Structure 1
Amino acid sequence: MRRQFLAVVGVALSALVMSVPAAAAPKAKPQAAQSAGVYKVAIDPGVSLADAAESMRLRANALNLKLVAELPLSKQVESITSQPQRTVTIFQFCDALTAKDLIDVNIDFAVYMPCRIALIEDAKGQGWLVMMDVNVDAIAKEKRVPQVLKDRINTVRQSLIDIMQAGAKGEL
């Protein structure tokens, strides 16, 4: 029951967290890009996908975001097809208290939780970290989210960007 609650909370928080306007994101470096609802960062050359994943886990822990799920999709496909696959792993992070408060405002936020960051190896072997990036101001206004909670959402989103940047650089 607790795992289900955390999963629901994480979905709601991730959608709202990912909806902070692009202007709130740090200045994009050449390896970072934003496009229609997506924020992505290229993993630096010399940083393995395993090192990027470990860096994200460590940074999330340091920022008090809990890793509530890790889905090795490419390994699941390999087991089904017996064919090697490019890496695709979905990490789900959560700030349970903020997520609970969002759900208290409106249960519709449950569809956005937990906050997801995908680790993806493209066809050329380049690693990417990708997350949803939607307009939090519009959602917060529509759902009547108090400013103090909106500020917490912005803090979580900034933490997710920090996690992605640490992963891309292989930082601990």
Structure 2
Amino acid sequence: MRNFLKVSILGAAIMTLSGCGFMSVKDNLDPKAMDVYSNMYDKFVESGGDLGAATVWHMEVAEGLGPDDIKMSIESAAVGSGLMNVGEMPLSKQLELETGEEQKYMNIYQYCSPQIARKAVDFSPYFSAYLPCRIAVVEDDEGRFHLYSLNMDMFVHGGKEMPEEFKKDAMHVRDTMWKMMQSAASGGF
């Protein structure tokens, strides 16, 4: 009953706020689009209105694992996937250089498949803003590490239906990023 009520309210809000606009695109949406947005709404409410919590995957890294373990696990999980490391942003090291003070660890790993990236941008040039795929490693105040990445379900299912060939590639990227995060969170290789 609660889910029915939530979907009804969400549907009414969409219809009210967008008028007939939603009705004009609903038939073009991925079949899982409403599930994606319903899940985002739940996370948005549960987090007290934090947009990041609603749109990002989060995993806590197992106790005892550190930055070197995380890096090795991410790299290992990417092998053979077609996603390649296209850069890292060692933000905590840069902040230490700028401030002269020790910083909590923060590093962003960037991965991409140029061929799939091209297909994504051909499908919608707006996808270029999401490139490359990233996994952020952030140390909290207690010294625990957390992983954050864009919720790739939005990419695959959040909008208009993708051509089957591109959707297969998009799912591959989504699944690979998820695997990389799980591996890094558990120390897997």
Q: TM-score range by the shorter chain?
A: 0.7 to 0.9
- Aligned with 2:63: secondary structure? coil
Match for 2:131: what amino acid? M
> For 1:63 and 1:151, how far apart are their aligned partners in 2?
13
Equivalence for 1:51: 69
| Unpaired runs of at least 5, structure 2 | 1-32, 39-51
List aligned pairs for 1:16-165, cutoff 5 A. 21=36, 35-133=53-151, 135-136=154-155, 137-139=157-159, 141=160, 145-165=162-182
- Higher-RCO chain (CA-CA 8 Å, sequence separation at least 6): 1
Report if the CA contact (8 A) 1:52-1:167 is conserved. Answer: yes
> For 1:171 and 1:22, how far apart are their aligned partners in 2?
31
> For 2:178 and 2:107, how far apart are their aligned partners in 1?
17
Match for 1:162: what amino acid? K
> For 1:46 and 1:58, how far apart are their aligned partners in 2?
19
> For 2:77 and 2:122, how far apart are their aligned partners in 1?
28
CA distance change for structure 1 residues 109 and 132 in 2, over 3 Å: closer, same or farther?
A: same
| Unpaired runs of at least 5, structure 1 | 1-18, 24-33
> For 2:173 and 2:181, how far apart are their aligned partners in 1?
12
> For 1:63 and 1:41, how far apart are their aligned partners in 2?
21
Report if the CA contact (8 A) 1:53-1:119 is conserved. Answer: no
Report if the CA contact (8 A) 1:88-1:119 is conserved. Answer: yes
> For 1:116 and 1:130, how far apart are their aligned partners in 2?
8
Q: How many Å apart are 1:57 and its aligned residue?
A: 1.3
Does residue 169 of structure 1 match 2:186? yes
Match for 2:79: what amino acid? N
What's the Cα RMSD here? 2.3
Larger Rg: 2
Report if the CA contact (8 A) 2:84-2:112 is conserved. Answer: yes
> For 2:84 and 2:65, how far apart are their aligned partners in 1?
23
Q: Structure 1 or 2: larger helix share?
A: 2
Cα deviation, 1:39-93, whole Å, max 9, x if unaligned, reads 1111101212211112101211232210101000000000000000011000110
Give me the TM-score of the superposition, normalised by structure 1: 0.74
Match for 1:165: what amino acid? Q
Runs ≥4 in structure 1, deviation > 3 angstroms? 19-23
Counting aligned pairs with the same residue, the percent is: 30
Give me the TM-score of the superposition, normalised by structure 2: 0.68
